[in-house]
Amino acid sequence: MDGVISRNISEGIRAASGYLTIDLTALARNYERLVKEVSPAGAAAVVKADAYGLGADRVATHLYAKGCRHFFVAQFVEALKLRPLLADDARIFVLNGLQPGNESDCARHGIVPVINSLDQWRRWAGAARAAGHALPAVLQFDTGMSRLGVPPEERDALAELVKSETSIAVLFVMSHLASADDAGSGQNESQLAEMQVVAAAFPQFNVCFANSGGIFLGRSYHGVLARPGIALYGGAPNVGGVNPLEPVVSLDISVVQTRTVRAGAHVGYGGSHVVAGETRLATIAAGYADGLPRSLSGCGAVYCDGIRLPIIGRVSMDSITIDISALPEGRLTLGSRVEMLGPHQTLEDVARDANTISYEILTGLGNRYQRTYR
Ligand SMILES: *Cc1c(COP(=O)(O)O)cnc(C)c1O
């Protein structure tokens, strides 16, 4: 590519039509807030899925500088990418476990697998023998989610293997809560009770249990290390309550055209929206290809000067049409920006309108935005 063009694109000069700002200072304050909440336990950072779409490289190195030393990813490839960016005293854990064929690379790069089955334990023990020194691991137990981890009927067999194997250094026993975002769910207490059974069966090891929601369920859920993800990124840890975390992400989108249409005009694909009276419209430059779900069609909104501007008609791949009749004429012109995420509209607002959860909105945020880290 032409040098000037590529430089302009990398600097985002007039190239982007959406502006995603990631506030690393707010991220750090959220981390400190969570550390305070779980103290004297510690807090890891869950940076899977590119730190929920915000950039695992920037997020992890920033949190390392703020004292975080435990980082959880989902997949081995994510751990490999992160490993060279963090100093040796940072632990990187792979939640999805030890896949066949990854054993020696995992050992060589000092990555810690979350052991989810007897077979994974045996293969990791083999890798430790091959390496000629002890290897670290986390043991995960299924306490009621039926997703990952050693099932209850295999706990005793694992305890036997652990007893006879000195080549694996177990750092934690862990499990994951299925309903921690709902403080009223009885599933929290039953999983806690199961976790206490596990802890009693492996009394020599520390416990790692709470995700973001679990942190706010109280001390008994904290163990020695919590694993927040969404709360670091400003998402609400519990549904319904006040969100004690700060927003980290804001998203503004450029206007690419405005028009006034008469009563009866059809808007967007399928002509699914017909305007009742003369209406001023703006088309903004982001769509479902940028992670704004099609389910926002006809029910989401953006904001300008604090005024709600409803999305009308269907969300397109690259654009969305909004009703700007509530704004003074001339307020929005070509190149003006409207707020999709910011002081007037939270992640949870957009997620609710799209009939999904904040996690899916964050991890879906597209790569056509100009990203600015603050
Ligand atoms: C994703 C994940 C987390 C983080 O969950 P949040 O709800 O985002 O805090 C913690 N532990 C496990 C096992 C996970 O899969």
Domain-wise residue ranges, the chain: 24-226, 249-373
249 CB under 6 A from ligand 1? no
In contact, 227 and 211? CB cutoff 8 Å: yes
Task: List the catalytic residues.
Answer: 48, 269
Q: Which of 307, 318, 330 is nearest to 284 (CA)?
A: 318
The residue whose CA is least distant from atom 12 of ligand 1 is 176
pLDDT of the residue at 289: 98
pLDDT at 2: 58
pLDDT number for residue 7: 62
**Cα-to-centroid distance, 227 and ligand 1 (Å):** 6
Tokens of 354: 């799209």
DSSP E strands in 228-334: the ranges are 249-261, 266-267, 273-274, 279-284, 301-304, 307-310, 320-323
Ligand 1 pocket, residue 95 CB under 6 Å: yes
Distance between CA 356 and CA 334 in Å, rounded? 31
Identify whether 310 is preceded by a cis peptide bond (ω within 30 of 0).
no
Which of 227, 232, 357, 358, when mutated, tests ligand 1's pocket best, judged by the most ligand atoms within 8 Å of its CB? 227
Extract the tokens encoding 204: 């020599």
Rounded distance from Cα 211 to ligand 1 centre (Å): 5
- Is the CB of residue 68 less than 8 Å from the CB of residue 240? no
Amino acid at 66: K
Q: What is the pLDDT of residue 265?
A: 98
Out of 27, 54, 72, give the residue to mutate to test ligand 1, the one with the largest number of ligand atoms within 8 Å of its CB: 72
Would you tell me which CATH number, out of the four given (3.20.20.10, 1.10.3720.10, 3.40.50.300, 3.40.50.10360), belongs to the domain 24-226?
3.20.20.10
User: What pLDDT is recorded for position 241?
Assistant: 83
pLDDT the model gives residue 49: 98
Distance 102 CA to ligand 1 centre (A): 23
- Nearest-CA residue for atom 6 of ligand 1: 229
pLDDT at 302: 98
pLDDT for residue 8:
58
Q: What is the pLDDT of residue 82?
A: 98
Task: Kindly report the number of other CB atoms within 10 A of residue 370's CB atom.
Answer: 17
Q: What is the pLDDT along the chain (374 residues), one digit of tens a residue?
A: 456 666 655 555 566 799 999 999 999 999 999 999 999 999 999 999 999 999 999 999 999 999 999 999 999 999 999 999 999 999 999 999 999 999 999 999 999 999 999 999 999 999 999 999 999 999 999 999 999 999 999 999 999 999 999 999 999 999 999 999 999 999 999 999 999 999 999 999 999 999 999 999 999 999 999 999 999 999 999 998 899 999 999 999 999 999 999 999 999 999 999 999 999 999 999 999 999 999 999 999 999 999 999 999 999 999 999 999 999 999 999 999 999 999 999 999 999 999 999 999 999 999 999 999 99
- Classify domain 249-373 at the CATH class level: mainly beta
Question: In this structure, are residues 162 and 137 in contact, taking their beta carbons and an 8 Å threshold?
Answer: no
**Cα–Cα distance measured from residue 296 to residue 353, given in angstroms and rounded to the nearest whole number:** 6
Asked if residue 46 has its Cβ within 6 Å of ligand 1, the reply is yes
Q: Which atom of ligand 1 is nearest to the CA of 215?
A: 9
